[in-house]
Chain A
Amino acid sequence: MPHIPPAPPKSFLGLSVDRRYRFIYKPLVFLACLTPLAWMAGSLFGWFGLSAPVDTVKFLELRCGKTALNLIMLTLMVTPVRQLARLPHLLRLRRMLGLFAFFYAALHFTVYLVLDVDLDWRQVAADIVKRPYITVGFTALVLLIPLAVTSTQGMMRRLGRRWSRLHRLIYLIAALGVCHFYWQEKIDVREPLVYAGVLLVLFGYRWVRSPGMWAVLAPVFAPNAARRRTAAPGTDARAPGARPLRPPA
């Protein structure tokens, strides 16, 4: 994790960063995460002037699924945004986004289970085994469970380094989610392709920022420099401008 210089202290209503997050930003994000639920409920019961969708079950399935996928993408955006915009405290919002992603994914599966296939377990089992897009989506949901369970402070402390290794599963989950979306589309895959593109950018960002990439790319882009530097003992044999392998002690 690269070192992020702390943002200059700003005064907003005279609140400390800690209090701002706790009393303003987190509640706002919480409400924002509930709006898709409110939209669905509104459409179902005719609130806020919303009209009922013709195919209610499909509507609920699609809304929940897309919201879950959107929130997973948002959790993956937290790191780039806090690094690029120098907002290190954004990290405090990520758990909520992740848990809401799990909530909507679980709701998506519940709608499928209860409203779409009417708790027909044989049908569900057959779908999960035989229909690749359902297999993939179900796998993503199952993988989200350990992440949700280990999202507490206590679990983070207890798992230590293993916590961040476990939570790297989100990359796989995001890819499975986009796959699930792509595969259920009859022929118009434009929207899932947009998601795939965003995901690639997010993965690419991490790859570019990782030391591993320089190990691969340095000899390609600056072979001479690399060789010259290798020749000089005691120097960093990587591309000029590369960050040190270890953060300075």
Chain B
Amino acid sequence: MAIRIPRIAPSQITPPEVFFNRRAFLAGALAAGAGGALGRAGAAVLPAAAGAPLKYSYDAADSVGALVHVPGQDEKPNTWEQITHYNNYYEFGTGKSDPAEYAGQLQTRPWSVAVGGEAEVTGSFPLETFLKPYALEERIYRFRCVEAWSMVIPWVGFPLAQVLKQFKPTSRAKYVAFETLYRPSQMPGQRVPILRWPYREGLRIDEAMNPLAFMVVGLYGRVLPNQDGAPLRLIVPWKYGFKSIKAIVRIVFTEQQPETTWSEAAPNEYGFYANVNPHVPHPRWSQATERRIGASLFHERQPTLMFNGYAKEVAYLYKGMNLHEYF
């Protein structure tokens, strides 16, 4: 029987003021040395219920954890409602509100993550075991969809680099591939061959080691709701949203560049790299500007930034590459 996880009433959602105060409080607590229980030494504990509060740290002094501000841009995080009711998650349907409507039937426990390929440590791990080594932290990232809209989202998770260190990919591993759960009984979109299921994504190992690449289990300090990719998803903030694969069940280290879903479906429109790049248009539309979701009706489109504004952190990965060719 499908368990319907109740939608969180607006009254239960942390109001932004409280949310930001708590962050300040946590930052203060960390500074005071009380952070041990919550901070980096702690092990990630992920309650099963979507929306349950998470324990995580937020270090305002950590330049990676903090949002990279761009002067003149409105970088206020989007609301919980916006982030959880405007999703591209074709496993639940191709409409933007389909995931919010249908993702509740997905059972995210028990959940296991299989790790394989060119790594010293491989095997299948229950989610609880998989998450144990990591301390949760918050990252507020810009999120840019290939459809030319964007949001600002406060994720909770841990760096992907730490996962790689845990499984010790060998020198033969050049790429890391990810796979989404395939369960048509609970993911109705998978009953339609819009894309080749299961959804697959991948990164080059050096991209995966970049401190910005982030594994996500939470949103706004709470357990990630299903429609946003629970229980475990990737966020690669300098790439278009479709690279940030959801509901991960498999991680494989490979020597060859892995097949990825969108570039397989339309190779002339979506590449393996899919870096946010205002200078390389989608064949059918421009990527030079974007519409920030939730901005007022007459708010102007804003210019899209190279690597989604994270050029300083990631540009070195693509030195010497022709980004028109490797789009």
Which A positions have Cβ atoms within 8 angstroms of B? 54-58, 115-118, 120, 123, 126-127, 130-133, 183-184, 186-188
Contact = CB atoms under 8 A, between A and B. Distances in A.
A39 to B, nearest CB: 15
Nearest to B90: A188
A55 B149 contact: yes
A183 B284 contact: yes
Contact of B266 (A116, A130, A187): A187
24 contacts: A54-B81, A54-B82, A55-B96, A55-B149, A57-B297, A58-B149, A58-B291, A115-B297, A115-B298, A116-B291, A116-B301, A117-B301, A118-B298, A118-B300, A118-B301, A130-B286, A131-B284, A131-B286, A132-B284, A183-B284, A184-B284, A187-B94, A187-B266, A188-B194
Range of interface residues on chain B? 20 to 34
A115 B85 CA distance: 21
A187 B194 contact: yes
Residue of B81, B266, B284, B286 ringed by the most chain A CB atoms within 10 A: B284
Interface in B281-303: 284-286, 289, 291, 293-294, 297-298, 300-301
B86 interface: yes
At the interface, is chain B mostly helix, strand, loop or mixed? Answer: loop
Nearest to A56: B297
Interface in B68-90: 81-82, 85-86, 90
Q: Is the interface of A mostly helix, strand, loop or mixed?
A: helix
Name, among A115, A120, A131, A187, the residue most crowded by chain B CB atoms within 10 Å (CB to CB). A187
Contact of B294 (A54, A133, A183, A184): A54
A123 B94 CA distance: 28
A57 B150 CA distance: 13
A141 to B, nearest CB: 18
B147 A186 contact: yes
A120 to B, nearest CB: 8
A127 B291 contact: no
Contact of B265 (A57, A120, A127, A187): A187
Interface of B: 81-82, 85-86, 90, 94, 96-97, 147, 149, 194-195, 265-266, 284-286, 289, 291, 293-294, 297-298, 300-301
A86 B143 CA distance: 56
Given A118-B301, A183-B284, 14 more contacts: A54-B81, A54-B96, A55-B96, A56-B297, A58-B291, A115-B297, A117-B301, A120-B301, A123-B286, A123-B289, A131-B285, A186-B147, A187-B195, A188-B94
A202 B318 CA distance: 53
Contact of A54 (B90, B265, B293, B298): B293
B274 to A, nearest CB: 14
Given A54-B82, A188-B194, A133 B298 contact: no
B240 to A, nearest CB: 12
Given A54-B96, A55-B96, A187-B265, A127 B286 contact: yes
A183 B301 CA distance: 22
